[in-house]
Amino acid sequence: MRVSRCDISVPPTSIMSMFSTGVLVLTSPLHTLPLRIAPVLSYASQLVERTLYVHLQPGLNLANGNQPWPVFIPPVVDVSTLISCLYSKAADVCGHLDVRVLLTNIGSQSSASSGNAVTSCPFPTPQHLSHSPDVLLTDFPLKDRGQSHQITQCLQKYTGHCYVCGPSLPSVLLHPQLMKLLEKEEEQKEPEKQPEVLGTYTDVVVGGTFDRLHGAHKTLLNISCLLTNKRLLIGVCSEIMLQKKVLKELIEPYSLRVQKLKEFLEDIKPSIECEIVPLDDPFGESVVDPLLQCIVVSEETRRGGEAVNKRRADNDLPALVIHEIQLLKDAHHSEVEEEKISSSSLRSRLLGTLLTPPRESSHLPPLPYVIGLTGGSGSGKSSIAMRLEALGAVRIDCDKLGHEVYEPGTAAYNRVLEEFGADIMNDDKTINRRALGKTVFGNQERLKALTNILWPEIALLVKKRINQAREEGERICVVDAAVLLEAGWTDMVHEVWVSVIPEEEAILRIQERDGVTREDALRRLESQWPAAKQVQHANVVLSTLWEPEVTQKQVLKAWKLLQKRIQKGAGSQ
Ligand SMILES: CC(=O)SCCNC(=O)CCNC(=O)[C@H](O)C(C)(C)COP(=O)(O)OP(=O)(O)OC[C@H]1O[C@@H](n2cnc3c(N)ncnc32)[C@H](O)[C@@H]1OP(=O)(O)O
């Protein structure tokens, strides 16, 4: 974006850099904002890269020579419409930005005042935001370019009165960029309608998983805060409630979800009493709390709201007002994803991307770059390894190497016979791996006795193959190892990639592929770390749950991002 000299209150050179956190003060009339908001957010997102706080003060005049101060905006229906629209457009035009609509100055004066004393200022002292702003932005119309300095001064003073900001923050007037759009708007100006006031309640309840807070969650939370004038009770699904969720292994832990919720709510409306409780069943406290007056639901969970009221009636409690908000559409959804903005779509987009940066690995030669690919039995890890091999990686199949070390005459062969006896021998003196498997899977002690013999031998072979690949000038190796993490082999690899699949699907696949019983398949899975534990150690997660083309897309994405990382690593040496 080109920002002309007169739009800013800082030298043009510094405006070239990106800012981490911005406060966008929207001064346009509420009913005009739905049309303008997409370009405003789009311009803002070219300057701000992390958090964009949005402060609404329709009608604020920054140019009449008097310093304006914040005033309360009544919680009208237009505000809630604008909030939904704003988060929806934000997902469309600046999905990477954490947008937060601030509500401290939205509400009736009386509900914000303590006792009967009516306060006319929503900010008796400046509010602390969890991310400190480093730029101010506004859509305020600049009629005369000569006014630019006065407006930015006024904006700084105004924002500093509302929020704790550093002194003389750079300020950007987005209005010149919007001129063309506004001219079009002038032509089709609609008369302003009489504002419809939104009903508010002392005690409101809302529930959800709140995994990786997205626009739909934020809309739900913002509107819940608008409807609340005292206490907001939030039920957050605990791990028990997540068993059937798609890619549940990637759901953030309960404590992290709660921490992020608290931070968001503290930013958007610190005056509300927020009570966050775990939800171990679909109803939680909503069916027993006598003080509750309203429940906020989405189109999808309306029936849940009705079920809550039935239970309340059974408990002799008054019914809750059900306030329904519309689900936000996801403009970027793929054919296999849901149309609404959903956490499961967001989780599926994480597949193949770098979730956590690789560990420090200066003890390893930089090339070949070694990926440790692991995952539960039946998770499709070997098919992923083969796809990576087709893209140019050297595949090291540890199951195969494991079989090699059983060759009669080797040290491991003799030690296994000593440990497990001649019963696990075939007539031709080779080891009957299937019989051995029956003995060790489901018996941690026996399995440990076996792996204590095998893992050091397999590790030697893996290292030999990696060295061979280095001598041959190969750039990438994939160590395909079922129990890489359990064996503590992370020191042998630069990155850990984990393949995940729901347990039921894994059991079916194992039964079909290996012709074993359900019980045997389960015993085998129980001998390995649960997927959620593996994911905690993963740099990249993949899943073969969908059609092969979907897996291929994930693998290609992961491969391309990996090439960039390796190149970057080489560049920094
Ligand atoms: C660190 C590593 O990952 S090395 C590779 C894994 N090998 C080992 O740990 C050595 C010990 N295991 C073995 O020797 C053999 O697996 C046996 C004897 C137990 C069974 O042999 P086989 O019947 O031929 O089965 P195979 O070796 O193909 O393994 C079958 C499944 O068992 C699982 N498995 C293998 N070893 C282990 C183990 N130590 N713990 C838990 N599960 C294991 C694998 O996930 C594999 O399923 P997958 O291919 O879907 O991932």
- Per DSSP, the residues of 293-352 read -EEEEEGGGHHHHHHHHHHHHHTT-PPPEEEEEPPPB-TT--TTS-SB--HHHHHHHHTT
pLDDT (average), residues 461-470 = 97
402 lines ligand 1 (CB under 6 A): yes
Q: Is 201 in the pocket of ligand 1 (CB under 6 A)?
A: no
Q: What is the distance between the alpha carbons of residues 508 and 98, in angstroms, rounded to a whole number?
A: 40
Output the pLDDT for position 569: 80
Minimal CA–CA distance to 54: which of 325, 326, 215, 268? 268
For residue 527, how far is its CA from the centre of ligand 1 (angstroms)?
10
**How far away, in angstroms, is 301 Cα from ligand 1 center?**
44
Looking at the CA of residue 399, tell me the nearest atom of ligand 1.
5
The answer to whether residues 374 and 559 touch, using CB atoms and an 8 Å cutoff, is no
- Is the CB of 420 within 6 Å of ligand 1? no
Q: Is the CB of 451 under 6 A from ligand 1?
A: yes
- Residues 523, 503: Cα–Cα separation, whole Å: 12
Q: Which residue intervals of the chain bear CATH 3.40.50.300?
A: 349-401+464-571
* Mean pLDDT value across residues 385-404: 97
Residue 433 has pLDDT above 90, yes or no: yes
Single-letter residue type at 488: G
Beta carbon of 431 within 6 Å of any ligand 1 atom: no
Percent of the chain with pLDDT over 90: 76
In short, whether 482's Cβ falls inside 6 Å of ligand 1 is yes
**Cβ of 377 below 6 Å from ligand 1:** yes
Q: Where are the beta strands (DSSP E) in 75-152?
A: 98-102, 135-138
**Is the CB of 525 within 6 Å of ligand 1?**
no
**pLDDT band per the 50, 70, 90 thresholds, residue 180:** low
Which residue out of 384, 396, 399 has the highest number of ligand 1 atoms within 8 Å of its CB and is therefore the one to mutate?
A: 399
Is the predicted pLDDT of residue 334 greater than 70, yes or no? no
What is the model's pTM?
Answer: 0.83
- Cα 546 to middle of ligand 1, angstroms: 25
Ligand 1 in contact with 396 (CB < 6 A)? no
> For 538-565, how does the pLDDT look when each residue is reduced to its tens digit (9 = 90+)?
999 999 999 999 999 999 999 999 999 9
pLDDT digits (tens, 9 = 90+) for 276-325: 999 999 999 999 999 999 999 988 788 999 999 999 999 999 999 999 99
CA of 553 to the centre of ligand 1 (A): 28
Residue nearest to atom 35 of ligand 1 (CA): 482
Please, what CATH class does the domain formed by 201-325 belong to?
A: alpha beta
Cis peptide before 75 (omega within 30 of 0): no
CATH for the 349-401+464-571 domain, from 3.40.50.300, 3.30.930.10, 3.30.70.20, 3.40.50.2300: 3.40.50.300
Residues of the chain with CATH 3.40.50.620: 201-325
Q: Is-contact 171 165, C-beta < 8 A?
A: no
